[in-house]
Structure 1
Amino acid sequence: MIQFKYKRNKLALLAMLVCSILFVSPSYSQHNSKNSKKDLESKKRKINDEIKEINSMLNETKANKKSSIGFLVNINMKLEKRQELINTINLQIQQLNRDIRKNEAESELLKASLEKLKKEYAQMIVFAQRNQDAYSVLMYIFAAESFNQAYSRLKYMQQYSEFRRKQAIEIINTQTILLAKLSELKEQKLEKNKLLGNEQVQKVQLSSEKTQQEQVLTELQKKEKELKSELEKKKEDAIQLQLEIKRLIAAEIKRKMEEAAKAEAAKALAAKKAREAKAREAKKKKEEPSKSIPDKRDDDEEKITKREKPDNPSVPELSEEAEALSTDFSNNRGKLPWPVAKGVICETYGEHEHPAIKGFMMFNNGLEICATKGTQARAVFEGEVTSIAVSPTGGKLVIIRHGEYLSVYCNLGDISVKTGQKVSVKEVIGTVMYNEEEDKTSINIQIWKGQKTMDPGGWLYNAR
């Protein structure tokens, strides 16, 4: 009996260990794996959407513009996104390889546990068959030397029967988990093969696009002198654009300061008049105390104040987009919507080399986003339109104030707002202009704080 109890305890501990491995560790790791898989799938969908958008832009390219800067920019973007897609697929394959190795190890552990359970169960069956005669069981119990020993032997037989039943259930459960694990393993291997096939397709397309890129570069480099001359002019235009934006912002800051100064002066004058009126009233009451008649001016002023400041002023309801953002512009880093509904970043903030002319450096004070023809431009945050001007680089520009911050929208065609107008989040402010010379449609979005530019990539949602 003591030997059986030791064996039973040993089996119970083994069962607990197996359960902890099967149900605790895998579930935790699977949770993390699913989260990672979900993120990679989301990223892959985003890249595929961007490639589709770039293809739409390339389809708009005229037959005689296949060697334009705009075409090269789109091809470069497509190559970058294609490589990013391949990298994402590789990450998915690596994740699957880890999951497959883990599932294979768990399957082996389950198989070993199952074999051990079956072996132990077979031994119990043999023992039960040898002692299945009711007479033998009774003889075993009545052969006890004392009542306590007889009771212990009876409990032993009952416990042995219960343990055998639980062992059978444990075998069934282990078999079920093993089958599920093997099925999952099969699905993972099929998914891996599918990803490997997709990766190969993307690599073939990448190779074809690189060949196309090289052809366009060769054509453009034949016109290097002409291009450099055009680029120098654009560089000068870009400098003039920044000077114009700075001038408009400086004028806006000056206007705000003047308005604040006027308001302060008006407030001081009103306070001075109120003090003088109060002094005159006090003097009048002192000189003619018996004939003083209550003056109703204070009551009238109070009534006027109440009319100007009603108890329950009407507050406009916030839109769904505005509610999702903080009312303070500075608290919305990485949350702002894009200035276009669909588009791809084709030029980042700061200094970078020109895509066609090696060594020729360009500087961008904003973020250039390429889109399809007819794309509408929209406000990234609620604010007030402070300036509308013709851009030195072509098209028009709109400046919107958001407290101490300003958003600037360059390269617009038609404008649908006016100076002084209040705009809400995602409200349309105009149409993005198509540049026929470069054969591309793009908007340049800039974020300013006072007279200093900031990288819009850190402000727009999912722009990095």
Structure 2
Amino acid sequence: MKFFRTAFFLFCVFAATGVFAQSSSELKRRRDKYTEELEQLNREYQETASNKKVSLKQLNILKAQINLREEKIANINSEVRNLDNQISQSNNTVRTLQSQLDQLKKEYAGMVLFAYRNQSAYNKLMFIFAAKDFNQAYRRLKYLQQFGTYRERQAGYIQGTQKDLNNKIVELDRNKKQKNNLLTEQEKEKETLGKEKTNQVKVIVDLSKHQGEIKKQQRDVQKRIAQTRRQIDIAIRKEIEDARREAEARAAAAARAAAAAAAKAKAENKEVVGPSVSKKTITKASTNSEVLNATPEATRLSNDFLGNRGRLPWPVANGQLVHGFGTYTDSEGIRNDNPGYEIRTANGAAVRAVFEGEVVKVMDVSGTYLIIIKHGEYFTAYSNLRSVNVAKGQKVSTKQSIGTVATDPSSGEAEVIFALYQGKTVVNPKLWLADN
């Protein structure tokens, strides 16, 4: 029973270790990702820093570096806490295994002493022949046989426990070393973060000398974003109106066909047969969702799009989120209302559709392109594109390239703005896009 209790305890320990391992693996993956993105940003910053003139791009890269580095430090903190839990668990396991090993050795020593005192064949025979009857003699014989087998098995338990103990000690030492390495890395990251914040202050001071010019650039950007949003609203409203007219036309045609069939049946003195399937008629009172899902194909596409909520790919293969959905105020005090995701990516990077659908709008907005794709009752918009390779009415598939991102000549940054709508309602892409 002691052996089974020990085995059950070890099973629980190893199961918990498996959970820790999975969590540690995910945290390490994130840390590696942060490191890779920071290296890319550092290369971009070095390129801009070689230019004697301080630019808005330098400030934006520094902001991105600071945000990423703070996230990386937080991730390292999570890794350290995870390792602390593992170290605590390992310490408890080592103490338990040591206690079990001491008990097993004590019991084994008692068995060895007993075997030593009864090692001669004469003593064993006397032990058997001293029985009261044949049944007791048989049981004593079996006892001696089982005692030898149990002693061998007990020696195996000792060896196995000793091996588990040594493995746990090795794992404990490895975790302690890994924790020390993480703490060292964390200190380096904090030191680098301090330097970046100092650089940020310096860049802001330098840029303040050109504050008027920079604010004008930012207002121009916000003006373009507002103009893009108006164009998206107009395009979606037009799609809904067109869909309503088409649905009403289909309903009117169906009604005329039914009336003609009824008149013909009456003229021929036949029974008037009504429609076999009752369909909802689209009227001016119908909701936008009903209008956009008026056809089986549109309904299927809407359901498929909804079914992939939280799993949609990003509109670029590699990119960092600059600003998320909603209202924010930048460091220059300008209030911005972001209708989607502003994603920084490489110059000339391909922009791709996040789901299958139909292109309903391709237009030029202040020198860059806007593409809108319809997915049943859902719409996705991709703006700030330098070039496009799709046309209105074209069917596209998931991850299909639809164009390339534009680079802002004033800041030198390549950013795509992605927005998502359900009907005319803008929604937060965070709820729909997969983790990048």
Instruction: Bin the TM-score by the shorter chain.
Output: 0.7 to 0.9
Is 2:115 aligned against 1:128? yes
The match for 1:108 is 95
Is 2:4 aligned against 1:16? yes
1:224 aligns with one of 211, 228, 234: 211
The match for 1:408 is 381
For the structure 1 residues 212 and 383, does the alpha-carbon distance in structure 2 shift closer, same or farther, using more than 3 Å as the test?
Answer: same
Is 2:309 aligned against 1:333? yes
Unaligned runs of 5+ in 1: 1-12, 286-324
Residue by residue, what CA displacement relative to the aligned partner does 1:413-439 show, whole Å, maximum 9, x if unpaired?
111111111111111111111101122
State the TM-score, normalizing by the size of structure 2.
0.85
CA positional deviation for 1:452: 1.7
Distance 1:15 1:274 in 2: 86
* Superposed counterparts of 1:329-408, under 5 Å: 329-355=305-331, 357=332, 359-392=333-366, 394-408=367-381
* Superposed counterparts of 1:21-40, under 5 Å: 21-22=9-10, 24-40=11-27
Is 2:173 aligned against 1:186? yes
The match for 1:9 is none
Residue by residue, what CA displacement relative to the aligned partner does 1:301-320 show, whole Å, maximum 9, x if unpaired?
xxxxxxxxxxxxxxxxxxxx
The AA in structure 2 aligned to 1:422 is K
* Superposed counterparts of 1:242-321, under 5 Å: 242-276=229-263, 282=268
Secondary structure of the residue that 1:434 maps to in structure 2?
Answer: coil
CA positional deviation for 1:256: 2.1
Secondary structure of the residue that 2:48 maps to in structure 1?
Answer: coil
The match for 1:432 is 405
Higher relative contact order (Cα pairs below 8 Å, separated by 6+ residues):
1
Between structure 1 and structure 2, the one with the greater Rg is: 1
The match for 2:287 is none
CA positional deviation for 1:212: 1.9
Is 2:431 aligned against 1:458? yes
CA positional deviation for 1:278: 5.2
Distance 2:345 2:30 in 1: 20
Distance 1:386 1:326 in 2: 16
Distance 2:230 2:57 in 1: 26
Distance 1:270 1:163 in 2: 92
Residue by residue, what CA displacement relative to the aligned partner does 1:177-236 show, whole Å, maximum 9, x if unpaired?
112222222222232232223223322322222222122111122333443344444444
Distance 1:112 1:267 in 2: 85
* Superposed counterparts of 1:200-211, under 5 Å: 200-211=187-198
CA positional deviation for 1:400: 1.0
The match for 1:44 is 31
Distance 2:194 2:49 in 1: 23
CA RMSD of aligned residues (A): 2.5
Distance 2:378 2:349 in 1: 25
Distance 2:306 2:136 in 1: 82
For the structure 1 residues 150 and 219, does the alpha-carbon distance in structure 2 shift closer, same or farther, using more than 3 Å as the test?
Answer: same
Secondary structure of the residue that 1:67 maps to in structure 2?
Answer: coil
The match for 2:61 is 74
For the structure 1 residues 399 and 230, does the alpha-carbon distance in structure 2 shift closer, same or farther, using more than 3 Å as the test?
Answer: same
Distance 1:136 1:422 in 2: 94
* Superposed counterparts of 1:87-166, under 5 Å: 87-166=74-153
CA positional deviation for 1:158: 2.6
